Structure 1
């Protein structure tokens, strides 16, 4: 599935809804039609071409996901340019390092991102966002509405503007920064073919039906859905508004992160059709709650920036799994798994990233996850970097965390707390669901803790698990600090 094919589908769609929005009451409204989106892409392509953006150019984009961001990606794809996705929330030092590595010729930024780096900086600090002055990093153009003090707007070219012929090769398509340090940032590079393969895998997995709405805002949701003729609704930020949006929209497929699902459930939300979640651990208990709230199916998707998606598992199969670790399902068609010398899961396939920016191509993606292959499925055993060393034991939290998700548990992680001389205490940080009796919850945890054998934690802390990043994954370093602060006499609190 290529972005060029999507453009043709949008052009044929005319006035059919493409991207839907939600009112504060949760009502659905057409935000952009298929024809609008195709026009935006053509006019952005002409405007960028006039500014010298073409084959081999790198275009920095600091814009929230949505129709205009997708139109820019379609425009860049036509021109043969590579889009570098820049996260304004990454912090000034990290963002400067990203710019230095990607070297974009032009930066397209929303007015909001520029304002938070300038006259609205006090508000940015209140929101715990710290941005550098984008204008100091390179040439900037404002995408969308412009506010005072922002860079000049990228003006849409005339609908009649001449467009260059679409580029048709396998050059770099997108750069996404994932990890590393300010001194050595790391960025994933997908080519046009790996991007197309990933989109095709999503389309084959989800099989969106034409004219039936889909709820989700990420690019890997927008492209396959729109290509199938299904309008896409952008999820509301407020959990209560999102819950009302779900009730009114009744989407055929819903894509939300685990934290979003938990927030909707807390707001008494009701689901419809099939629900897909990923980017953070999706436990069997969470998927079960989603199905109990109306979903026909609830799927956990194992994916990463380097390859999405790689595997998927439905709630029923996950609940029936009785082994240790986290079952993430069978590899999707074209995905080749292997286990490395350290027990690390390696993945290859047409949807795998081409390389890391500045490094040589490598067909195998090192996931950083310890795993095993069992009856044709992938079972995760924990992140290699999350290994806890207690005495002479190497403990991988992923082998045991699922057993802590008894009824009444919202989220649970096992973390190491430094104990001196390189040794660690093992602490379970367990987040109860609202209104759950803590005494009863501790009683419910007794048997699962006993079954953990030599990996039984030294202490259990009932507290909210800290989250981090755009996908709101558990922040294990913060959870370790939280455990150390709340359990100063840790050696004496062991439940042995």
Structure 2
């Protein structure tokens, strides 16, 4: 089993200032829903307290900047603005729609200021927010409504139009964000001061507790029909101090490894990032509800539409973005942008993300094209609020392909089919435990019992191995290819393909074979102007991997299918290439 090792690697005086009694990141062991876990001693009791704290510490700092197309004026809200607006919206939710603690409130829409404020209003009353996937069709939205039975649904015109004619849409009010905000009472200047707004926010539900549920986020659906993961306030509150501590400790340990005494970081400009993650996903509400208010970070949003690396770079310069976050494919498109050198990226301090391990070749390209920036990654999922493993700095460069060590409040292990932890370096199913774990799947006790045990361990369905104290992600359980009795982990082949100079993207799946059971098929995307052939691809893999791992079939595509959060849709590839010629 892995626990966070970095606290023990710090010199005693530094550790005491960072983690000791009364320190900002003091850690302790407490019972969490009947299981002893590592938690932060000085944590906020719930999410409204996190926003109220931000309102007090950085009232006038920009919190949300929603940009428009072209030169359209951006909408900017400070932390104080959002706090005051959330109180006013909460009054309408109560008076017009009867929303109370424990009710579900549905949301379906593109990221917007109205969406963000209404989320804060609903959860501050004690309601459970339901993030309906904005990319779903009408029947998929109907499934989400049937499952969660919200008392009201808010959204934008485009997404709400998909509910037209659905029986499920008539079971509760369906309200446009524009109509909700038109119903707000006029602002009262005396009530909108940061102090009074923060106090009013906390007074909305004084009985709110940290293990009360706050959000239902649907699993991506890449492995079956979406299920609703139920997250408590505690899970999201824990997200930010965990991230801040692991970043600070990693930087200090790197200083030690470089031969310099660990020093307090120099005062930095306030953090600014571009948030591409949708609010129906942990990559969206994690930064929105906890990272930004905890750190004073400004979140910049691109105009609605498909993610565009040029727009991302333009916004980086315009708003002085300090951190990029995204899946590896997005980071690669940014650092290989043909006009990268034309942009002033002097304020950019770091790059990070998740969704997949950074392939060694991607890491080399980032270091070559953007030298001197911190790079981080990790491993987590909706059910763990994105927390699990973490890697960055020297550790990442020394073990590319790893997703790292356990994060400060998480525990990790891999288990075999018998539930026993295998020897170091052997593959098993990855399990995660920690205070950011989910409560279970909404209205699905059977699915919950299949993955969440009485000791708080969540069985992820991912294969991995622990070697020399680091976790390596091998494959999702369902992605494993078994060819003639040999287990083949697609990620190993995908990492090799990522290093090919003429390939821009690649994915590996198994396709049926009458005698062998399965064969390996690679779907690859050529770089512009490249003329690489299937035989070239096979020779490239054969030069580094065993012969049974060499793709029997190679197919070329103009792009690979990804969902709204950047996750590769292997089911789509399997449907398209189910029968290899």
TM-score exceeds 0.5:
yes
After TM superposition, the structure 1 = structure 2 runs for residues 101-250 of structure 1, keeping only pairs within 5 Å, are 101-118=147-164, 135-143=169-177, 145=178, 155-159=183-187, 164-169=204-209, 170-178=211-219, 185-205=226-246, 211-217=270-276, 218-222=284-288, 223-236=290-303, 237-250=307-320
Query: 2 CA distance for matches of 1:319 and 1:410?
Result: 22
1:241-281 CA-partner distances (Å, limit 9, x unpaired): 22211233332212223343344334534552101122345
After TM superposition, the structure 1 = structure 2 runs for residues 431-446 of structure 1, keeping only pairs within 5 Å, are 431-438=525-532, 443=536, 446=539
Q: Tell me the C-alpha RMSD between the 2 structures.
A: 3.2
Report how far residue 315 of structure 1 moved.
7.0
Match of residue 121 from structure 1: none
Q: Identify which range, 228-237 or 169-178, moves more after superposition.
A: 228-237
Report how far residue 140 of structure 1 moved.
1.2
Match of residue 328 from structure 1: 403
Report how far residue 387 of structure 1 moved.
1.6
Report how far residue 436 of structure 1 moved.
3.0
Match of residue 301 from structure 1: 378
Q: 8 Å contact 1:179–1:187 — kept in the other structure? A: no
The answer as to 2:407 corresponding to 1:338 is no
Q: 8 Å contact 1:428–1:460 — kept in the other structure? A: yes
Q: 8 Å contact 2:402–2:472 — kept in the other structure? A: yes
1:120-158 CA-partner distances (Å, limit 9, x unpaired): xxxxxxxxxxx9587335221221x35xxxxx7672244
Report how far residue 292 of structure 1 moved.
3.1
Q: Identify which range, 376-385 or 154-163, moves more after superposition.
A: 154-163
TM-score by length of 1: 0.83
Match of residue 278 from structure 1: 354
SS of alignment partner, residue 173 of structure 1: strand
The answer as to 2:541 corresponding to 1:448 is yes
1:50-99 CA-partner distances (Å, limit 9, x unpaired): 23211111111113334333322322232111111111322222221211
Q: 8 Å contact 1:432–1:462 — kept in the other structure? A: yes
Unpaired runs of 5+ in structure 2? 1-43, 192-199, 249-266, 277-283, 418-427
Match of residue 424 from structure 2: none
SS of alignment partner, residue 110 of structure 2: coil
Query: 1 CA distance for matches of 2:111 and 2:243?
Result: 18
SS of alignment partner, residue 438 of structure 1: coil
After TM superposition, the structure 1 = structure 2 runs for residues 465-476 of structure 1, keeping only pairs within 5 Å, are 465-476=559-570
Report how far residue 442 of structure 1 moved.
5.7
After TM superposition, the structure 1 = structure 2 runs for residues 8-23 of structure 1, keeping only pairs within 5 Å, are 8-12=52-56, 13-22=58-67
Query: 2 CA distance for matches of 1:31 and 1:448?
Result: 50
Match among 503, 509, 516 for residue 415 of structure 1: 509
Query: 2 CA distance for matches of 1:139 and 1:438?
Result: 55
Tell me which of the two structures has the higher relative contact order, counting C-alpha pairs closer than 8 angstroms and 6 or more residues apart.
2
Q: Which runs of 4+ in 1 moved over 6 A?
A: 180-184
TM-score by length of 2: 0.72
The answer as to 2:49 corresponding to 1:5 is yes
SS of alignment partner, residue 466 of structure 2: strand
Unpaired runs of 5+ in structure 1? 119-130, 147-151, 489-496
